[in-house]
Structure 1
Amino acid sequence: MNPSRIVITGTIASGKSSLSQILRDMGYEVIDADLVNRELLKEGGKNYIAIKKIDAFKGAFLDGKLDKKVLASIIFDDPQKREILNKISHKNIINHINHMIENYKGNLIFVEIPLFFQMKEKFSCDYIWLVKANRNIQIKRLIKRDKIRKDYAIKKIESQNQSLMEEKSDIVFDNSSDLSNLKEQVNRALKDLEKV
């Protein structure tokens, strides 16, 4: 029997990882697409090899090593290069996740995909759980997490279409408060799932 697949996604710095950790603490299996990508970006990994072949990204390789910060700066202000990178990497990430799920024996699996709505390559799922947070909280979290300036944090937040994401999601979690509030929302969502 194939497990039900629930995607966890959300706006930037909203607390997707916090929601995933709550589920892990409850004993649920959560696959992190960012960790999968990190593996694929290691020297010799599928995404590392694919990116290295593209001239536009040559500057991100220093002494044969991929500098992810340089790569991020190359694609952030250039939508065309971002599109090229996403086309290369997303397919490999999804294939890897699907392979992991094939070997999974449980009846419910969560997959955290931060850029789920931005992906052209679609991941097949049963439900979409979206995490959002108050804009000011997002800005503060992003500045602290990424050690960036406020104007850059705002630019990153504004690059996402939150209302469209909410519209396309099955459940929206508001993580503007504390962890216990988020846990309550998760428990309610899990109870609703049991009724289905």
Structure 2
Amino acid sequence: MLKVGLTGGIGAGKSEVARLLVGYGAVLIDSDRIAREVVEPGTPGLAAVTREFGPDVLAADGSLDRPALGAIVFADPERLAALNAIVHPLVGARSAELERAAGTESVVVHDVPLLTENGLAPLYDVVVVVDASPETQLDRLVRLRGMAEADARARMAAQATRAQRLAVADLVVDNDGPREALEPQVRAVWDALVHRAGAS
């Protein structure tokens, strides 16, 4: 099994690269999606979050009220650390479970937005960084996602710098250009991953 960490700044096009890799045969483990799953209604994760942060973080239907929780944790690093201490081990356990189910011959791609920020590069055999210039990221966030420019800039500033991400990369996908320029690059990355998986 080859464990691949896939990361990139917001608006760089990481999700599209992940989609293409799955099309070639990768097994995708999406940490954001798992982080949502482990705090769904009825889970031990949601019970733990409610114990830590109180009933005000629940919506009327019993699900997690993300904006309410976000308002608490993003203003206070200690509260954010308390949330991460609940959610990260659950995400890790579920990721490991999915990885075991993938089988020994697989190329397993972990989609990890904050790989660089959280110092997770050593956990993977190969780190793939989807790279785009800050100008391209900003344009996509504003034009394609409808974000206000100030919000987009704030989200970008909260992440690792382009240089920090590139410093942990084994393979880089340059996604500054048009969509049709992306596919041949991802195909080449896939071929390199398959080669490494065979060699290991």
Counterpart Cα distance in 1 of 2:177 and 2:159: 21
Q: Which letter does structure 1 place at the counterpart of 2:151?
A: Y
Aligned to 1:159: 158
Query: Which residue type is aligned with residue 76 of structure 1?
Result: F
* Deviations, residues 69-128 of structure 1 (Å, cap 9, x unaligned): 332333333333222222221111011010111122233111111122233788832111
Deviation at 1:48, TM superposition (A): 1.5
Partner of 2:59: 62
Q: Distance in 2 between matches of 1:48 and 1:69?
A: 15
In structure 2, what is the equivalent of residue 34 of structure 1? 32
Q: CA RMSD in A?
A: 2.3
Q: How does 1:24-173 map to 2 (within 5 A)?
A: 24-55=22-53, 58-63=55-60, 64-105=62-103, 106-119=105-118, 124-143=123-142, 147-162=146-161, 163-173=163-173
Deviation at 1:50, TM superposition (A): 2.0
Per-residue CA shift, 1:24-46, capped at 9, x if unaligned? 12232211111211211211224
Deviates more, 1:122-131 or 1:83-92: 122-131
% identity of equivalent residues: 23
- Alpha-carbon distance between aligned partners in 2 of 1:86 and 1:128, rounded to the nearest angstrom: 23
Which amino acid is 1:128 matched to?
Answer: V
- Displacement of 1:47 in angstroms is 2.7
Deviation at 1:180, TM superposition (A): 2.2
> In 2 relative to 1, CA 44–145 (structure 1 residues): closer, same or farther, beyond 3 Å?
farther
Runs (5+) with no aligned partner, structure 2? none
Letter in 2 for 1:189: V
Mark the runs of 5 or more structure 1 residues left unpaired by the alignment: none
SS of corresponding position for 1:41 = coil
CA distance in 2: counterparts of 1:32 and 1:157, whole angstroms: 20
TM-score (normalizing by structure 1): 0.86
* Deviates further, 97-106 or 114-123: 114-123
Aligned-partner SS, 1:109? strand
1:181-196 equivalent positions in 2, closer than 5 A: 181-193=181-193, 194=195, 196=199
User: TM-score by structure 2 length?
Assistant: 0.84
